[in-house]
Amino acid sequence: MKKYFINKRKKNFLHINKIFLILISLIFIIYINFNNFKNYSFILIQQYSDKFDNNLSKIEITNLNYIGEKEILKYFDYFIGKSIFLVPIKQTAENILAIKWIKKISIKSDYKNTIKIFLEEEVPLGIFYNNKQEILFSNNLIILEILDTKKKFSSLLKFYGKNSIYNSKTLLLVLDDNFKENIESAIFIENRRWNLKLNNQILLKLPQDNIKEAILKYKMIYNNFSNKDLKDIESIDLRILNQAIIKYKNK
């Protein structure tokens, strides 16, 4: 009885193995046939495109302001001269969207020979100085790239201090556009307030709150001082409400 039980179990095991091998074989056959069918379909589509001139030959890009066309066109190099129906538009769009500069993208085909690409890029907001690195970031606080030359984006506001990137928009929102043009750099102090280095080399020490009122106070001082007097000022401390402490340069 014991022997019969062992033989029966062995037969069941062999039967299961046989079914498993058959299933694997079927899957393999289906896979091979599917790939063959897929390859054959591609060949037919390409032949059709060659006959009726439906091969990709032209790519149009709109709204490209900050990065070069080559950065986008390289994703289509392989498909130039091939059937426009075989261009994987969705996958290519996802690949391009991985570029940090690209905020949004739409790719459309005319199903003849042209691909049209509509882009929305990130807009540079400022440059964060971290030791010797100059890090360009966008108005969505996206790190775009590490700059290798000071000439590039040199007109942008420079930011210093820990977490200054993540607090930059809060500062800029309370400053009017005309005053922003007078700022050379912004230094985030003790993770709570700002010092502004102006183009006239005066250092403004701002309070944590009531920044607009502090800027108005500076403008009053500026309008009541001559250019000669302003050149002698090293810093203006506006941290205390209704006060302005002026420090002059040592002569």
What secondary structure does DSSP assign to 76-98, as a single string?
GGGGTTSBGGG--HHHHHHHHHT
CATH superfamily assigned to domain 58-121? membrane protein fhac (3.10.20.310)
Contacts of 251 (CB under 8 A, 6+ apart): 232
The domain made up of 124-248 has a fold known as Rossmann fold (3.40.50)
- Give the pLDDT of residue 89: 94
The tokens for 34 are: 């599917």
Three-state helix/strand/coil letters over 124-138: EEEEEEECCEEEEEE
Residue ranges covered by each domain of the chain:
1-52, 58-121, 124-248
The tokens for 17 are: 């193995």
- Residue given tokens 């502090």 in the structure block: 214
- Give the pLDDT of residue 29: 53
Cα 140 from chain centre: 9
Report the chain (251 residues): mean pLDDT per 10 consecutive residues.
Answer: 50 49 52 53 84 94 93 96 93 96 96 96 95 92 88 88 95 92 95 95 95 94 89 94 89 58
- Give the pLDDT of residue 75: 96
- Give the pLDDT of residue 71: 95
- Give the pLDDT of residue 36: 52
- Give the pLDDT of residue 22: 52
Cα 87 from chain centre: 25
Cα 240 from chain centre: 39
CA–CA gap between residue 120 and residue 28 (Å, rounded): 45
What secondary structure does DSSP assign to 155-204, as a single string?
TSEEEESTTHHHHHHHHHHTS-HHHHTTEEEEEEETTTEEEEEETTSPEE
- Phi and psi angles of residue 139, each rounded to the nearest 5 degrees, phi first: -70, -10
CA–CA gap between residue 232 and residue 202 (Å, rounded): 9
- Give the pLDDT of residue 19: 55
Give the DSSP H/E element, type plus range, for residue 3: helix 2-52
- Give the pLDDT of residue 2: 46
Residues facing 197 on adjacent strands: 185, 203
